[in-house]
Amino acid sequence: MTVSPFDSGIYGPFLGDESVSALFTDREHLRAMLTVEAALARVQGRLGIIPAEAADAISRAAETLEPDIEALGAGT
């Protein structure tokens, strides 16, 4: 069984708008996760939890990564 927020009585009408639904693509979902990872690395670097060099590398990688959506889908 598949589940979709588009089937929701609450979210369905909201997500039916093309400009809003564009924010919920696989690519945007992954971009949001990578943005969080970059921010987490920067904060951890500032707090000394991880080395500053590692924080910079993680942040740069997360901000510039262009994931292959099809390959990710095929690998799951």
Question: Domains of the chain: which residue ranges?
Answer: 25-76
Give the Cα separation of 21 and 1 in Å (integer).
Answer: 22
pLDDT band of 1, cuts 50, 70, 90: low
Res 3: pLDDT: 73
| CB-based contact 54:48 (threshold 8 Å) | no
pLDDT tens digits, one per residue of 38-76: 999 999 999 999 999 999 999 999 999 998 988 988 887
Res 55: pLDDT: 98
pLDDT tens digits, one per residue of 7-46: 778 877 777 777 777 777 888 889 999 999 999 999 999 9
